[in-house]
Structure 1
Amino acid sequence: MRPSACIRECVARAGVRRWSSIIAIGILALGMITAGVAVLALLNRSLVSGATDTASAKARNVAAALAAGGPVAEPALTATPGETAAVQILDAGGRVVRSSAELAGEPPILTGLPPAGGEAVATVALPLGQNNAEYRVVAVSSAGYTVVAAQSLEGARTAVARLAVLLVAAAVPLLALAWLAVHLALGAALGPVEAMRRTVAEVSMTDLAVRVPVPRAQDEIQRLASTLNAMLARLASAQAAQRRFVADASHELRSPLSTITATLDLAARHPGRITMAELVDINGAEAARLGELVDDLLVLARTDDGSDAPPAADVDLDDVVRAEAIRLKSIGGLTIEARVRPARIRGNAAQVARAVRNLTENAREHAESTVRLVCRREGRLAVVEVSDDGAGVPAAERSHVFGRFVRLDAERDRGHGGAGLGLAIVAGIAARHGGRAQCLAPPPGRHGAFFRVEFPAAEEDPGAAAARVADETPD
């Protein structure tokens, strides 16, 4: 295999796994991002809530001291170790009366003061320290004063940022491990599919005996492998039947062509050995046989081709059988027994007539004295039965008699019937009309061949059917 072809095959082989892995990792990444954002939001909310509680407690403590009427101690305005808080005390006019050292000389950090006994909460950027930082500010109004306490959010923001970095750092290897696991799992799951693909790619029309490996797991892959093997088996069976058909057709076509060629060669080399009348009779008979064989092959090809659908219409099956009974009686030489009752089907009249004609011709050829024709309706079926009192069909051959080029004669020559396509045509026409053809054991007390063809019956008004024909056609 050329390198470029190998690369294309590898790319095609890895395509499913690659895209499946990308989709799986994308879903996992989206889930991790969503979970991370939720965790960070909850942490930030918790830390901001803690800062608010700290500022509120600071402001309320100072407000309680003011309400008691005593002086506010300096430590109450100073941040305790571990906290970053600042306090302002405002009078009723909103002027700063006193503040912690961090806010000395600064204007009020909160302009919107709460009503008496109320509380206001806001997040404000204050110029404390080297940079402006966010503070959680709580204002409490009590005893004519407003105490404003500010708690820094720098610790909260730092904690959230560090956790985000940790989550990202942990997510990268986790995603890599997940991608590897998904890739390996998909490779193991799609391995049987790849084995089936390679096997099917190696199948050729000259060798359909190859079968794909069937996994032991009872899953969709196992059912796919079984379906592929069943399809290969059907293809192999169809191929074998086609080869037999071609071989038999070649044999049947070669016989009349050989006769015509031989007689023409004899007439050309030895003009006195055969007369013109004999030449015309022999070659005319062989040409007629050749034409019949070609017509039969065309009919079989049409019955096999499901796309070649002839126009369908209501067909009175009883009229077709009655016409065949009349034709057989006109030929003479045999007793024709016919019992014909109303039966209508939906189909192609010419094909149905061809099927009935083939059955009656087969019976006439093998009958000793009597041919029986029956047509009737049985529930949802329209049935035609044709039997004779000849040698019959051996039980072992009844399932094969509708095969192509099948003849029960000991010799395959022109003196023993046709080419063996008549009953195959009957079976093909019946199948194309949704029915079936059968060769059954004769009824008790009778001998000979017994054929039965079933068609789906068309809906028909019983009164109209009774008025159209009699219950039984006289012999």
Structure 2
Amino acid sequence: MRARTEGLAERWGSRVGVRGRSVLVAVVVVVVAMLVGGTGLLLVLQSSLEQAVEATGRARAAEVVSRIDANGVPATVAALSDQSRTDAVTLVLDAGGSVIGSSRRSTTEALSAQRPTVGSYDSVELDIDTLDERGEWKVVTTAVESAGRTYFVQVAVPIRIQRDTVQTVAVLLLAGTPLLLAAVAAAVWVLVGRALRTVEQIRRTVAEIDARALTARLDVPPTRDEIAALAQTMNAMLDRLQASDRAQRAFVSDASHELRSPLATLSTAAELAGRTSDEEVRTRLLDTMNAELVRMRGLVGNLMTLARVDAHDATTNPTDVDLDDLVDHEARRLRTTSTLDVTTRIEPVRVHADLSRVAQPLRNLVDNAERHAAGQVALTLTTEGGDAVVWVDNDGPEVDPEDRDRIFERFVRLDVSRTRDAGGSGLGLAIARAGVTSQGGRLAVVEHPLGWCRFELRLPLVPEPVGPLDVGDAAGATGPAGPDRQPPG
């Protein structure tokens, strides 16, 4: 039953809309405020009026007591009718409670049974029918001594007028509440409508923006409120979309350019191979075609890896990774496949990360060092603070400081030493940085004390949340290799 009620309320609220819900909430708040405030106002008003009535009765009683002290009881009683007030009834009683003097001759009985001590005052609210004005009265009683005897003075003040005043105020509040609610509802309807008008303008502007008009931006209202924040957020989102669109267009253009060269080579070689009858020439052409196919296969694989990175469509499988085994394996592989002088300085280090997203960036860095080294490559693994630090150094040309961040962009080659003829497509470092970043690490080009080219890879030693980025499987990463470590060169 509760779930059904909540479902109905949710559907009803969604049909009413923001404007209607705002009006409803404002009306409910005003009704509650009127009920609480009006009730409190009436109670305070009634209490104040009753206190004023009691103060009037006490003042009248004190006046009579002063006259008794000054003139005596007989003179005061004789003058009561002459000093009578139309809104109050004054009685003087003897010690037995009998009326010996009254401001109204028709009143011959005591109004209250209260008998206070001399100098004190008692008050009570009574419904008295014996007076000319029937209704509720406030009766104040006090005692006074005169000529060795005790007398009581009673003053009755009507409270009908005060009650009528409270009722009148209550009626006015009830009558004015619908008008106030209507005014509040109209004001909220108009104000929310004006606020939503700005939101509607933002919606229309965004709806008109497409891939051909990503340069358009929203007008930010001068008000420093949520609407202005929404416009600023939408503009920031459009900036990111525009930057992403430019990067995507550049990526497609660069990928097309990279694929055009091997495709042209394959087309030309296939055409020449079909025309020639010389087996030696045909063999060379086939070798050329195979080399271009290998190159295209690697390029397409890298493009698919970057596409998965951009799509965020892969999950991670973090585990404990012995980083020293990976670095040692890459050093052994490089010694086997090249004639370079490879030196290592490796400390036992373990990180919590996805193996494939650490192994492939490390391999890409080692391949890059092999490609640009003049004769030496040095691999160093150590710890620094809370990070595992891998330095991949080569004695080739140093990267200029202004290019140290741009080198990780896609299809970037900085000089003639980094051309496709050397085997690079300009994607390896981009894939390496994406993989390291997905594991909460950092990859950058830093200074080397000897002026070599140094790439620094940092990974946290403690587990950290990883993002859903994919850098593909490790290119040929294998299990741990045996120890084969040398001191640094």
Instruction: Structure 2: state its 5+ residue gaps.
Output: 1-12, 463-481
Which secondary structure does the structure 2 equivalent of 1:401 belong to?
helix
Contact kept? 2:90, 2:155, Cα under 8 Å: yes
Alignment length, in residue pairs? Answer: 450
Equivalent residue letter for 2:125: T
Identity percentage of aligned residues:
32
- Cα separation, 1, equivalents of 2:416 and 2:168: 97
Q: Report Cα offsets for 1:289-339 as digits up to 9, x if no partner.
A: 44433432343355553862222313324x33332222222224x322313
Equivalent residue letter for 1:229: N
> Cα distance, 1:254 vs. partner?
6.8
- Cα separation, 1, equivalents of 2:17 and 2:283: 71
> Cα distance, 1:171 vs. partner?
8.4
Tell me what 1:364 maps to: 370
- Cα separation, 1, equivalents of 2:243 and 2:259: 24
- Cα separation, 2, equivalents of 1:78 and 1:272: 151
Q: Report Cα offsets for 1:8-42 as digits up to 9, x if no partner.
A: 99975646864675578568757863774476246
More divergent stretch after superposition (293-302 vs 237-246): 293-302
Tell me what 2:315 maps to: 308
Which secondary structure does the structure 2 equivalent of 1:109 belong to?
coil
Tell me what 2:84 maps to: 80
Q: Report Cα offsets for 1:240-290 as digits up to 9, x if no partner.
A: 2233324444555677678778989999x9898999989986776555444
Which secondary structure does the structure 1 equivalent of 2:77 belong to?
coil
Is it true that 1:338 corresponds to 2:311 in the alignment? no
- Cα separation, 2, equivalents of 1:357 and 1:260: 29
- Cα separation, 2, equivalents of 1:232 and 1:298: 26
Instruction: Give the RMSD, CA atoms, in angstroms.
Output: 5.1
Contact kept? 1:66, 1:72, Cα under 8 Å: no
Change (3 A) 1:108 1:341: same
Tell me what 2:487 maps to: 473
TM-score (norm 1): 0.71
Task: Write the mapping of 1:20-419 to structure 2, written as runs, cut at 5 A.
Answer: 22=27, 29=34, 33=38, 36-37=41-42, 40-41=45-46, 43-57=48-62, 60=65, 68=73, 72-73=77-78, 75-77=79-81, 80=84, 83-90=86-93, 92-96=95-99, 99=102, 101=104, 103-104=106-107, 107-114=109-116, 119-127=121-129, 132-141=134-143, 143=149, 145-161=151-167, 196=202, 198-204=204-210, 207-216=213-222, 225-250=231-256, 252=258, 288-301=294-307, 303=309, 305=312, 308-317=315-324, 319-332=325-338, 334-342=339-347, 344-346=349-351, 347-367=353-373, 369-377=374-382, 379-380=384-385, 381-390=387-396, 397-408=403-414, 415=421, 417-419=423-425
Which secondary structure does the structure 2 equivalent of 1:375 belong to?
strand
Is it true that 1:428 corresponds to 2:434 in the alignment? yes
- Cα separation, 2, equivalents of 1:209 and 1:439: 34
Which secondary structure does the structure 1 equivalent of 2:406 belong to?
coil
Change (3 A) 1:341 1:430: same
Q: Report Cα offsets for 1:203-262 as digits up to 9, x if no partner.
A: 445543232333456677655544443333223212322333244445556776787789
Contact kept? 1:78, 1:101, Cα under 8 Å: no
More divergent stretch after superposition (220-229 vs 183-192): 183-192
Tell me what 1:452 maps to: 455
Change (3 A) 1:454 1:115: same
Which secondary structure does the structure 2 equivalent of 1:103 belong to?
coil
> Cα distance, 1:455 vs. partner?
0.8
Contact kept? 2:31, 2:181, Cα under 8 Å: no
Q: Report Cα offsets for 1:350-374 as digits up to 9, x if no partner.
A: 332222221222233344x413123
